[in-house]
Chain A
Amino acid sequence: MNDLVRRLRVPVVSVVLALAATWLLLVVVDAPPLDALWQIWNGSLGRLSKIPDTLIAWVPLTLAAAGLIVTFQAGMWNIGVEGQIVMGAIGAAFVVRELSGPPAVVIVAAFVVGALFGIFWALIPGYLRTRFGVHEIFSGVALVFVASAIAVYLIIGPWSRTGVASTSGTDLFEERYWLPTVGADEYSWLAILVAVAAVVAIAVLMRGTRYGLRLKAVGKNHHSAFLMGIPTNAYMLSAFAMCGALAGIAGTVQALGFHHKLVPSISGNYGFLAILVVLLAGFRALWTAPIALFFAAMLVGSTQLSLRLGIDSSLAGVIQGMLVLFILVVGAWQAQRTRRLARRAETATTAGGG
């Protein structure tokens, strides 16, 4: 019970602070605060018809976050996850553009190829890290740009619409290759199923398996793990591959289930946002799901601010940014406090133990 209170303190305090700051901001720009917050809620989770829209944003965010749990546990910042989503989407787009067959087969093939593209793109920083000691943050960021450039090249060049050269996107995929939906809605049960399965699988993997334990050892202390006989490089590469696969699947969902074509911004910043989700979740897989839902709701719901209250759309972005910032500041404060307490406790025991 006490533990739960402690765990909930950071999110609750930061959300309350962020809401207070948002309130102030809305008052300053002469918008009705309560109404604004109500609109965000109502435009995301508060209305049955908007829940699918929110889940559509939740899926790629959660997939990327689940993948990042693995690389974080291995002690690495796979910031290139954004590019791995893009590559996954490119792989999936390639399959549905070039292959023809029964939808079930083509869609499964798209998922497999999307995941493989993601793995490939993740293994590059992994290899550079394990082989040459190149920090994965730098190679990862660079590879995000490269992936984007490849997408733009394909969209303007070989995959362009007839007579058109625009970054607007490729032609729509054949409708039978879109992810199956429930009824007339854009709600793809398959995508949601995949995301839920990913979160559960990663949670089990990290908490309940020897692999997860050893990976954690690699992350906590690379050198001692190596001395204990864990093949650290292989473990690190496998973590990259796993994250890349989930990111690639996220890209596949974005391409086949959401845009139904390849667009340059196919990754939707979900990879970068997922880094925040994982940090806020304290690297616990199961926590990523509700936190990602919160972010997805903010993203999708804030459209209502422009639509219904006429608030400038950039203000919605500012509100989102403030929420993130507050959550991080409070989180950092909490972490520092915990560390100070831990150190004090440590000094106490050392002194006591003599």
Chain B
Amino acid sequence: MKGRRGAALLILLVAFALIAAACGDDDGGTTTAADGGTATTAAGTPTTAAGTATTAAPDMMVPDDFQVGMILVGPQNDRGWSQAHYEAGLYVMEKLGLPEANLIVLDKVNTADRPETTLPDVVADMIDQGADVIFATSDDMRDGIEQAAGQFPDVPMIWSSGDSAWVDGKAYKADLSNLGNIMGRMYYGKAIAGCAAALTTQTGNLTYLGPLINDETRRLVNSVYLGARYCYENYAGGDPDDLSFEVKWIGFWFNIPGFTLDPTQVTNEFLAAGSDVVVSGIDTTEALVRAGQEQDAGNAIWAVPYDYEDACAEAPEACLGVPYFHWGPEYLKVAEDVIAGSYTRDFVWAGPDWGDLNNRDTTAIGWYDGDALAADAAGSLAEFIAGLASGEIDLWVGPLNNQDGSVWLGDGEKATDFQLWYTEQLLEGIVGASAAE
């Protein structure tokens, strides 16, 4: 009898656990666009790959039944990576004059959240539903989207942040002629983030909340580091060698309990070790939330979130600013080309519009100052951005050494796109793992 009752209790527990798992990770928040700070406009002339204004050509005939399939790795309201893509999808619909319903979205497409689904299944479903183009918006989707592109060679697809269409890249897939890539030159945004961190820190102890380790994430960590060193030396008047800079990796783009480290926990460790500015490289806003709690308790702790233009809204009192993606302009180009029947796959690594870093129609990456950035720091930061814009400041020039002491860039050597994209190691001076340990 006793055993039976215990069993019934256990069943109920399991059932509740299933329900909790189903609705646990959703904060259900709605968001308003772009109130996360004041716009930073960089003076200076556009240098590399600045966008030109994109709007749907007025004479273009957009069929009413044109549909876009968009696959997100995380929740569509994550205030980070996935939401930035989702809103870019809405932007495309708006520019094409199509209803939101023509954007087919499936979020949380990863093996932990949807163990019964594979990416090719999702692509097949979307095509079945009438999608004319598919956006697979995560590095994590490499295997799946390459498989799907092979299965549906007539449907144009984009794998964002990937390199499968880069003829000179390491992983070029010549046969997948329907699969293109789009990425933003976020290393600029991350350098700006590092600069804001260095201009604010009081302890000289900067930390980076890293997702998983790959070429992209090493590139971005290095960029934060270079930006921080430059600004610490040139604006804050400090010795950059006094700056300490540590990265810890959680293991994935966002927290998956049991499979990754808990980002809140990692942030706590950073703070306990004396860090006062945490730069986030993960898809979600845990670092900023923690910093906000500290600010509310009267402690001088700041954070720099990532990915999404309105990310600062989570805790404006602790937010130094946010480097973010505007996927919209490039996605719109693809959609227009698909409608016109002229899409050819390409590897696009789109840069900022230095003329207006926050122009949603022209820039692939941007930066907003946060409320917590002090006025004089904001002034120096604007100067720094202007320097990047004019090309006067180039951080990716040697001599720069890898973490193991080997030379990454020789004296005066400028990093090529290939060297930047395939960043093999963290830079000398950064504490943390460059690769699997």
Footprint of B on A, CB under 8 Å? 43, 49, 53, 56-57, 77, 137, 145, 148, 152, 156-157, 160, 163-169, 172, 184, 186, 258-261, 263-270, 272-273, 275-276, 279, 296, 299-300, 303-304, 306-308, 310, 312-314, 316-318, 320-322, 324-325, 328, 332
Contact = CB atoms under 8 A, between A and B. Distances in A.
Contacts of B115: 265, 267-270
B12 interface: yes
Nearest to A324: B15
Given A263-B111, A276-B15, A268 B116 contact: yes
B129 A163 contact: no
A174 to B, nearest CB: 13
Nearest to A57: B116
26 contacts: A148-B258, A157-B436, A163-B424, A164-B213, A165-B212, A165-B213, A167-B212, A167-B259, A167-B260, A168-B212, A260-B143, A263-B111, A264-B258, A265-B115, A265-B259, A268-B111, A268-B116, A276-B15, A299-B116, A306-B105, A306-B107, A307-B125, A318-B23, A321-B22, A322-B19, A324-B15
B256 interface: yes
Nearest to B8: A332
Q: Which of B11, B112, B128 has the most CB of A within 10 A?
A: B11
A267 B21 CA distance: 15
Q: Which of A43, A137, A317 has the most CB of B within 10 A?
A: A317
Contacts of A263: 111
A31 to B, nearest CB: 14
Contact of A313 (B21, B106, B121, B139): B106
B137 to A, nearest CB: 14
A297 to B, nearest CB: 10
Contacts of A43: 125
B107 A300 contact: no
Contacts of B7: 77
Q: Which of A49, A152, A314 has the most CB of B within 10 A?
A: A314
Given A169-B111, A303-B114, A304-B125, A314 B26 contact: yes
B122 interface: yes
A328 B18 CA distance: 13
A279 B436 contact: no
A270 B22 CA distance: 15
Nearest to A326: B15
Interface string B122-140: 1011101100000000011
B11 to A, nearest CB: 5
* Interface size range on B against A: 35 or more
A340 to B, nearest CB: 13
Contact of B212 (A145, A166, A260, A312): A166
B101 interface: yes
A164 B212 contact: yes
Interface string B194-222: 00000000000000000011110000000
A166 B251 contact: yes
Contact of B23 (A57, A259, A273, A314): A314
A163 B11 contact: no
If over half of A's interface residues share one DSSP class (helix, strand or loop), that class is named, otherwise mixed; here it is helix
B108 A313 contact: yes
Contacts of A57: 116
Contact of A317 (B23, B118, B139): B23
Q: Which of B18, B213, B437 has the most CB of A within 10 A?
A: B18
Contacts of B128: 49
B256 A167 contact: yes
A314 B214 contact: no
B111 A259 contact: yes
Contacts of A269: 21, 115
A72 B424 CA distance: 52
Given A265-B256, A314-B23, 7 more contacts: A77-B7, A169-B143, A276-B15, A300-B117, A306-B107, A324-B18, A328-B11
B10 A137 contact: yes
B106 A303 contact: yes
A275 B116 contact: no
Nearest to A280: B11
A165 B251 contact: yes
Contacts of B106: 303, 306-307, 313
Nearest to B256: A167
A43 B126 CA distance: 12
A160 to B, nearest CB: 4
A261 B143 contact: yes
Contact of B18 (A164, A314, A320): A320
Nearest to A300: B116
B1 to A, nearest CB: 9
